[in-house]
Amino acid sequence: MLHYRLIAKKLFYILLFAVVSISGLRAQDGKALFQANCASCHNPIKQLTGPALQGVTSRVTDKALLHAWIKNNIAVLGTGNKYFNDLYVSFGKTPMNTFPNLSDAEIDAILNYVETYKAPTAAPADNGGGGTKDQENDNSLLYGVLTLILAVIMFVLLQVNSSLKKLSDDKEGIPAMEPIPFYRNKVYITFVVLILFVVGGYYVVQGAIGLGRTKNYQPEQPIFYSHKVHAGTNQISCLYCHGGAWESKHAGVPSLNICMNCHAAINEYKGEALHREDGTTVDGTAEIQKLYSYTGYDVKSGKYTEPGKSIEWVKIHNLPDHVYFNHSQHIRAGKVQCQTCHGNITEMSEVKQFAELSMGWCINCHRNSKIDFPDSTGAGNKFYSIYEKFHNDLKNGTIDSVTVEKIGGTECQKCHY
């Protein structure tokens, strides 16, 4: 008896498992089928080229009609069905593809997936970042306070010392000198003046060098465009938007149609929380709305209803006119990574100037960077084949590599002409 019960129990579990896995499979199937056939134009909860599909079974209660529509919408339109004809007109008479190969079971699986679809939940916001930076600031502050305290202690001790000396002198009958207050004491005054000179001089020199240099410049932009989200999380190539960097002197700022390549469809932000430099939270969806207000795009109809106007981004990296700089020369021929000069851009929510863009900074890199000089195997940039002397030197072992400086990269006229 016990035996049978055990077997029955086992059978029950096996059956349960089978049912669960089959239904899981079907849901999975529905997703795969939906993505293979429908997802180019439809999203369960968003209007794309076609309408948002969730709730379609309650909008079209006649199941046979719905199946017929999905399989061959042109035939259904031909019958003069009012609902579908109105739909067809409201979506700009864009014809839907026909799917004669889908079976009824497959369509049911797709509909089941669509009706049970839930939007992917937002990734949990990370609360890291900035922690290490604060630590550093705290340390320097600590040292500063310690120095101050030590200085005060030293000052007090010196005062105590002089008072004690005066007392002992009084006791021993040595005639006391007229006490000099510390602010008229020449040693103190010299000391303070010296410190002021050194500290003041340091800041004056730093300020003078820093004049015209805008390192760490991080202006607020008209739209909170996060390079961290675009180039970091979503792995969009830098050249997707700044394609000019490969082709020309200027990297260029993308025109609005390039934003709208993706943002015609992506109209809300659901990633981890965005923060400005001062710590306030940014509503990503509202920032995308700002883009729409510039482009005159209407999300509901998916059309451009108003004329576009330009976004006046604030230029951060500025070189004076008497400096020639060419992006393509560095990126294409020199194979320099964007990050070398622009810093870890994939981690920047708000872009700031990473490099000094000073002449010393340029020259230093030109001295250290090796060029793509053709080696004995012939690999490398063929342009440099005319530098016969360096080829011979490399062969003789006089030099082990060729830097930008060697081919004239530190000559004045290379960049100033």
Residue 149 CB, nearest distance to other proteins (Å)?
A: 10
Nearer to other proteins, 129 or 144 (CB): 144
8, amino acid identity: A
Asked if residues 139 and 289 have their Cβ atoms less than 8 Å apart, the reply is no
Residue 240 CB, nearest distance to other proteins (Å)?
A: 6
354, amino acid identity: F
Q: Which residue has the tokens 């015609």?
A: 264
Nearer to other proteins, 11 or 262 (CB): 262
Nearer to other proteins, 33 or 291 (CB): 33
Asked if residues 362 and 415 have their Cβ atoms less than 8 Å apart, the reply is yes
* Among 31, 43, 35, 38, residue whose Cα is nearest residue 265: 43
Nearer to other proteins, 11 or 253 (CB): 253
Residue 400 CB, nearest distance to other proteins (Å)?
A: 29
Residue 146 CB, nearest distance to other proteins (Å)?
A: 12
Nearer to other proteins, 237 or 401 (CB): 237
Asked if residues 339 and 345 have their Cβ atoms less than 8 Å apart, the reply is yes
Residue 9 CB, nearest distance to other proteins (Å)?
A: 34
Residue 234 CB, nearest distance to other proteins (Å)?
A: 6
Distance, CA of 35 to CA of 311 (rounded, Å): 36
DSSP state letter for 275? E
Residue 406 CB, nearest distance to other proteins (Å)?
A: 27
Distance, CA of 125 to CA of 81 (rounded, Å): 48
Nearer to other proteins, 327 or 406 (CB): 327
Nearer to other proteins, 236 or 333 (CB): 236
Residue 329 CB, nearest distance to other proteins (Å)?
A: 18
Residue 30 CB, nearest distance to other proteins (Å)?
A: 11
Question: Following DSSP, what letter does each residue of 345-413 receive, concatenated?
Answer: GGG-SS----S---HHHHHHHHHHPBP----TT--S-GGGGG-HHHHHHHHHTS-S--BTGGGTTT-HH
- The pair of structure tokens assigned to 258 is 């390039």
Sign of CA dihedral 16, 21, 24, 30: negative
Question: Following DSSP, what letter does each residue of 318-330 receive, concatenated?
Answer: ---TTS---HHII
Judged on CB neighbours under 10 Å (0-12, 13-18, 19+), 41 is middle
Nearer to other proteins, 90 or 329 (CB): 90
**How would you classify residue 407: left for phi > 0, otherwise alpha for psi between -120 and 50, otherwise beta?**
alpha
Distance, CA of 359 to CA of 340 (rounded, Å): 16
Residue 277 CB, nearest distance to other proteins (Å)?
A: 4
Nearer to other proteins, 96 or 404 (CB): 96
Distance, CA of 299 to CA of 288 (rounded, Å): 11
Nearer to other proteins, 174 or 262 (CB): 262
